[in-house]
Structure 1
């Protein structure tokens, strides 16, 4: 099963992919250019994660088609970029090819000063306005794997058999 990891630069997409696939976190993460693919076997399910660059030139839509779900990572301590993050998310979800694709929004970096709580993230990202798909939101911290087990459980829950 395949999932895409998207979000603005430095939100924590690569860190999340590393923690999910290897269980390890590193402070020294190079920015993703283009995409990286990570694979991991969890509970007898092969999970393939497309870690997509956050730079504006990246075209997320083409990588989000025909996946089991979209994982959108937000740096909840980067208040200056929250409106841009919201705009990018809602623009992506407006694409006809992605209607109905489940969405998992992850608020990362919850240990930083000024980080939003879950309800504030839901409000800031206007997640309640998204009604054409399942939407779930978790707060995570990649550097100590806080709630990463919930992310893995969500990924496995959204496994779809190919026909």
Structure 2
């Protein structure tokens, strides 16, 4: 009976107080963006994700919040689309492969180029250091340093170490997003 009451309560909350939000997920190729979105949406982690061509859209539900996730391709030919898909969203998620130190200078340049766009000035930024389950990973402090995140001012910014494979810190990511759903 308690399960039925909980289901009914959740349904009523969703029906009358549902909140929708949009987030754009960007980052270099092979950072694990698509795997991360799949796991957040309740699907299984797969090792063999094919590279995203242009974008994928996936919906993630957390309580009474429905989060539309725009997962953009990270290859050079798609990076010029990032700014267009980041306009007017509730948050931008920038994903890096925490085990790929060599990609950090390019990731830093792409992130700062994106954030320099005036149209994105007040949008909160969540940086996710994915693949935190790997041994050779960078710490969150190392990622903050490598991406020069302390230089990013005039915007809310957070950085978490996550693992799509092990589902590490994904609940914290969802809570961070839900907290920005009304903004």
Question: Is this a same-fold pair by TM over 0.5?
Answer: yes
**Under TM normalisation by the shorter chain, which class is it?**
over 0.9
Equivalent position of 2:146 in the other structure: 124
Q: Which of these residues, 76, 81, 88, is aligned with residue 56 of structure 1?
A: 76
Q: Offset at 1:23?
A: 4.2
Q: Which of these residues, 93, 103, 128, is aligned with residue 125 of structure 2?
A: 103
The structure, 1 or 2, with the larger RCO (C-alpha pairs under 8 Å, 6+ apart) is 1
Q: Which of these residues, 46, 49, 57, is aligned with residue 66 of structure 2?
A: 46
Q: Give the TM-score taking structure 2 as reference length.
A: 0.85
In structure 2, stretches of 5+ residues that fail to align are 1-20
Equivalent position of 1:20 in the other structure: 40
For the 8 Å contact 2:122–2:155, the answer to whether it is kept is yes
Equivalent position of 1:66 in the other structure: 88
Question: What secondary structure does 1:112 align onto?
Answer: coil
Q: Which of these residues, 162, 165, 171, is aligned with residue 140 of structure 1?
A: 162
Q: Distance in 2 between matches of 1:144 and 1:120?
A: 21
For the 8 Å contact 2:133–2:166, the answer to whether it is kept is no
1:113 aligns with 2:159: no
Q: Offset at 1:56?
A: 1.3
Q: Offset at 1:100?
A: 1.0
The root-mean-square deviation of aligned C-alpha atoms, in Å, is 1.0
Question: What secondary structure does 2:36 align onto?
Answer: helix
Larger radius of gyration: 2
Q: Offset at 1:24?
A: 1.9
Q: Offset at 1:46?
A: 0.8
Q: Offset at 1:159?
A: 0.4
Q: Offset at 1:113?
A: 3.2
Q: Distance in 2 between matches of 1:139 and 1:2?
A: 22
Q: Distance in 2 between matches of 1:116 and 1:40?
A: 28
Q: Which runs of 4+ in 1 moved over 6 A?
A: none
